[in-house]
Amino acid sequence: MQRATQLALIALCAGLAAHTASAQSEAPPPGEQAGAAAKAFIEKLDTDKNGGISLEEATAPQKEQFTSNDKDGDGFITAEEASTAFAEQVPAEMLEAMKERGMPDPGQTFVKNLDQNGDGKVDPTEFEQPTKESFNAMDANSDGAADEAEATAYFEEMRAKMQERMQQVQEQMQQMQQMQQEQSPAE
């Protein structure tokens, strides 16, 4: 579930950061990106305009997204529905590249990551769980609201974790390349 939480937050941060960057003539320097993303995050979700977001405000977009993705209206999102939603939001070339690389179907991955009770589909509670976990981690003082400072700290922490993970992946890829070179016969 932690992986799903991180993926959901990364997607949210990336989308908000991209929106913020496109709305400005210049992107903020790397050290200020978390602050810009946090500001956009708060502005987008703070519907009562009190300077922070509540859990209800944080989960409101998930409720709308769930309804949109639940194509048959049965109260669950299946792998097929998730795949359809993904295909509607991602360029066809990207989907094709994913298939060519042998990556699993995004709908199946979605259900695998969020289906806590193992019934093969995602209910609204399961769908909102990553957002609830992220919100609880973001609300550092546990007062029921995440303000811009808390969001900035959380986004910076997630950026650092993502950067660390990317470094680990690069190192693993380098090790694999080195092993392949050592195993291949000299020409």
- 104 is written with which tokens? 């699993």
52's enclosing H/E stretch is: strand 52-54
Which pLDDT tens digit goes with each residue over 5-56? Answer: 444 444 444 444 444 444 444 555 655 788 888 999 999 999 999 999 999 9
Which pLDDT tens digit goes with each residue over 109-158? Answer: 999 999 999 999 999 999 999 999 999 999 999 999 999 999 999 999 98
List beta partners, residue 53. 146
Amino acid at residue number 20: T
0.85 exceeded by pTM: no
- 187 is written with which tokens? 């020409």
Task: Tell me if 110 sits within 8 A of 86, measured CB to CB.
Answer: yes
Rounded distance between C-alpha atoms, residue 18 and residue 136, angstroms: 24
